[in-house]
Structure 1
């Protein structure tokens, strides 16, 4: 796996790595990733794009490639990635492709792909095959279309779908939201239905991202939102990423809330009427997330990092809800796909139903002391993981994703990045002092953090 063909999508610099010719070939060969059940729905593929200027010509080339192969296209226009997933399921399409580079800087672009019912296409379930087909291809990008194309707007249907679990509209809340000039800007009409006093930040579509990187996982990108929440006296704040499939929350005190704690906070809403249901969380998550799921009567299931793994495990266990540390929140009733706006709706309903401020609701979950995710450049990744296995053999070890070692009072995970040439460390302890002590030990193995 190298170049533009990644673990979960296709992504690179435009026009050096991602070109209209590449886009055409991706469309042309996408049909080869669809099985009989997918193809029985058409074949027809939902195509959409984000607000980057080069997404327009890339989407056109992509559609031409699909149609040249006899695959009809439903163009749902400029929209967020979650709406593409919804469109695939709602329109009963064979699959979908969103032209986006998510949170990456303006010079990047790419493609997120799914099959029927928004089943994700990852490297081992199609991208690797597509990589071989595209790289060996001599297909004529000027081929005439063999299938039709139509435009359709699914936003009204998506709005009603997202609001299905909006069960508490009082009292009126004040909410600051940072779109980072990304696709969450289109959520205005949904926010208007939530009985909130809306305080927008960087709420204009601009694929150059003039204000800050559209990645809410980096704390430096939350600073302006945190200040706005305090200045305006908001009940909470939310920061979206570039294609609006992730969200990070800020409480009324301006404090950022890690997404794993939001998973723990929201789990009880899904377990009230479904005791014993499985709730899926990724293995970077706090012990508090697992404990909150158990306390609410659920079965916590720990999964490796990545939306394709999370979604597959949710489908296998018929799980109503899952969450990742990166800010992805997954909903069974949303074709097991992620939706940032649906996550925000759940948080607002929780605030209203409890009558408590967000900081107070999250406080019991802040019972441990995490490092957050730390990146390291390590030349021999496999060798390092074997060394950690040997030297920490007195702990409880598993290899679900990289290596996780657990003790009674602390744990750590070291895993190779699925998207970058890095090892990533997450560590948590019962006290801040122990966290710092054990972090220093791990730094002795992994070296100085990147950046």
Structure 2
């Protein structure tokens, strides 16, 4: 029988080679992330595969699964270790090889397979690994499934079964590309910067955009798991600034940036302005609601308040549903509500029928942006952006906070703000108008300026976002007020970026 995992082992020891190591905190709210060799070893990955196969049977799901891996030096090894565990649990595995996360989600439909386990750490620094899992297309695991998987793996409560098998699906990327490009080409001739941050998307995104009729200017598309220029994260200003510089240098119509596993997209306009993803969501909602009036859009609590206040959206009867941040949460909410689309500030966008299959795909998001430009032939990206009501918003800012303490810090922040509200005290010189606690705490004051604090679901960090419909100064005031409350907790460290 396969051994029960240990929470910590040391490399170059007998125990490390004979016992699975799985750090418990690697099981996140909706996927799994570990530092490879420090928090999980290959035997630990086998245990994960055994546990996942056990869970599928427990859920009554047909034991059949598609898998793929991102471009990291160790991802293929991790995938193969996971496959051995899955097969021992009796799972029939379809391996699509090097892939993007949305390619694996597409494979669930294309191959008619119920479950998915994509080996990727997305945009995390090299050294991280992880798995995105699901057993009901198009949604992925949430806290209930991840909690049960954690219990099975850490207890070593595996179920073994016969019937496990392995099949490699040759040339699957071509099938994915054909699905996205089997449509009329764009009427408008568009020059597009495709930035991939040396992540896996570099192998696929530029070619697909070219097939749609774009003139593509590649930026950092060579695959390099060291991410030598910047982290492939379209929320990070360093990547957005690199995109902006290339757009201005080449006179491109738009810059499109893809994260490490290709399920997110970031946008820079023709004037080099970085458009945060929530504002792109408002622009796409405006465009799609012309074709689908009365549509519902799900948005995460990090996102701009414009989804609920924009006059154009209100005039078309659009409904905005603010929900928990996290690709699994938004994906499931879009499915449950039958929403047309869901938008996250991180750049995870979910297009539901009839404009998508409900999962997050950065290249499909890029295509929707290009279609928006195609349907507005007389307008540039900057003009469409400029037509939005003005607000001043921050990027996503993440101060370090250990996994073991980050949720406690959020609870203390909520308690502090709740006490201020109860006392009628002021924050940034104004009374608190509302506290939204669906995911962390989002505090809004009288003039509509708001700030959000929540725990990151995939890294040892907090997440801070602020926005004001009044001025940049008010936005900065809210940031300093929120940060001052956070600094009452010594567990909170330095930010990855600030305004």
Q: Conserved in 1, the CA contact under 8 Å of 2:75 and 2:120?
A: yes
**Cα separation, partners in 2 of 1:385 and 1:278, compared to 1, 3 Å:** same
> Which residue of the partner structure matches residue 34 of structure 1?
56
Among candidates 126, 135, 143, match of residue 154 of structure 2: 135
Q: Conserved in 1, the CA contact under 8 Å of 2:289 and 2:295?
A: yes
Q: Conserved in 2, the CA contact under 8 Å of 1:245 and 1:339?
A: yes
Q: Give unpaired runs (5+ residues) of structure 1.
A: none
Among candidates 358, 365, 372, match of residue 343 of structure 1: 365
> Which residue of the partner structure matches residue 387 of structure 1?
416
Which stretch shows the higher mean deviation, 391-400 or 178-187?
391-400
- How many angstroms does 1:99 deviate by? 0.9
- How many angstroms does 1:8 deviate by? 2.0
> Which residue of the partner structure matches residue 17 of structure 2?
none
Report the 3-state secondary structure (helix = DSSP H, G, I; strand = E; otherwise coil) of the residue aligned with 1:396: strand
Distance in 1, Cα, partners of 2:458 & 2:45: 20
Distance in 1, Cα, partners of 2:414 & 2:28: 22
Residue 424 of structure 2 is aligned to residue 402 of structure 1: no
Distance in 1, Cα, partners of 2:237 & 2:478: 23
Q: Conserved in 1, the CA contact under 8 Å of 2:298 and 2:323?
A: yes
Q: Conserved in 2, the CA contact under 8 Å of 1:246 and 1:327?
A: yes
> Which residue of the partner structure matches residue 209 of structure 2?
191
Normalised by the length of structure 1, the TM-score is 0.92
Residue 126 of structure 2 is aligned to residue 106 of structure 1: yes
Q: Conserved in 2, the CA contact under 8 Å of 1:64 and 1:145?
A: no
> Which residue of the partner structure matches residue 383 of structure 2?
360
1:16-67: CA deviation from partner (whole Å, max 9, x where unpaired): 2232212211111212332688634xx2100111111211111111111111
- How many angstroms does 1:145 deviate by? 7.3
- How many angstroms does 1:366 deviate by? 5.3
Among candidates 302, 315, 322, match of residue 284 of structure 1: 302
Distance in 1, Cα, partners of 2:220 & 2:318: 38
Q: How does 1:196-235 map to 2 (within 5 A)?
A: 196-235=214-253
Report the 3-state secondary structure (helix = DSSP H, G, I; strand = E; otherwise coil) of the residue aligned with 1:39: coil
- How many angstroms does 1:95 deviate by? 0.3
RMSD of the alignment, in Å? 2.4
- How many angstroms does 1:277 deviate by? 1.9
Q: Conserved in 2, the CA contact under 8 Å of 1:118 and 1:337?
A: yes
Q: Conserved in 2, the CA contact under 8 Å of 1:414 and 1:424?
A: yes
1:345-398: CA deviation from partner (whole Å, max 9, x where unpaired): 111111121121111101132511123333345774312211111213442223
Distance in 1, Cα, partners of 2:450 & 2:136: 38
Among candidates 26, 50, 61, match of residue 4 of structure 1: 26
1:274-331: CA deviation from partner (whole Å, max 9, x where unpaired): 3222111111111223334434432111111011211121111111211100011101
Distance in 2, Cα, partners of 1:258 & 1:207: 26
Q: Conserved in 1, the CA contact under 8 Å of 2:410 and 2:440?
A: no
Distance in 1, Cα, partners of 2:291 & 2:388: 22
> Which residue of the partner structure matches residue 249 of structure 1?
267
Residue 340 of structure 2 is aligned to residue 320 of structure 1: yes
Distance in 2, Cα, partners of 1:372 & 1:213: 15
Distance in 1, Cα, partners of 2:480 & 2:145: 40
Report the 3-state secondary structure (helix = DSSP H, G, I; strand = E; otherwise coil) of the residue aligned with 2:30: coil
